[in-house]
Amino acid sequence: MKTRQLVAIGASMGGTVVLESLLARLPPDAPPIVIVQHTLPHFVAPLVRQLGAVGRMRVVEAADGASLSPGMACVAPGRSHLVVERQGEELRTVLALGPAVRFHRPSVDVLFHSLVGLPHVEIVAVLLTGMGRDGAEGLLALRRAGAQTIAQDRGSSAIFGMPKEAIERGAARHISSLDDLPHRILACFGPRRLSVPVVSRSA
């Protein structure tokens, strides 16, 4: 399937709560989402199940060579970096066993850098709550390449380290609260996306 839009999300400490809130409020035909959440490998499968239970998108653990399509969210597995490559008309997830980056594998920076230069794809990259600097460099590279970039604000972040680093580097075009995050992501794709109602958390 031709994929022209993509959301990439990086998160660490406190990120699972944010991801639950976000996926609970996105429409079922939202652009495909790729997620790096710093967590222990044995927590990935329960996280996938939980995220799939709260929203209307299909949530899966990323697999090597899997095709991305609207309405699906892919979570990076433990111990493997997650990158995205274009193969013909499709975007596919690729798992890489490279060295840890800033002590992380998967690394948000590795994911974000893989998206720089993807042809004919609208990219929205989001850096959420977490400790450290992972993702800030990649978010800046994406902004310089013309992508829409978002950092979570201080007030709604459990740990403001990762988004703070990105904001200080000038990597974030937008700074968003948790409550506004679904609307902000869809707005980055233009008015057509905003015509799809966002599901409230109480629904």
Task: Enumerate the active-site residues.
Answer: 12, 38, 134
User: Strand 58-61's sheet: what is its strand order?
Assistant: 58-61, 72-75, 33-37, 5-11, 122-127, 148-152, 174-176
Name the DSSP class of 42.
Answer: G
Q: Which helix (H) or strand (E) holds 93?
A: strand 90-96
Classify 124 in phi/psi space as left (phi over 0), alpha (psi -120 to 50) or beta: beta
Spatial distance between the Cα atoms of 32 and 69, rounded to a whole number of angstroms: 5
DSSP string over 115-149: HTT-TT-EEEEEE-S-SSSTTHHHHHHHHHTT-EE
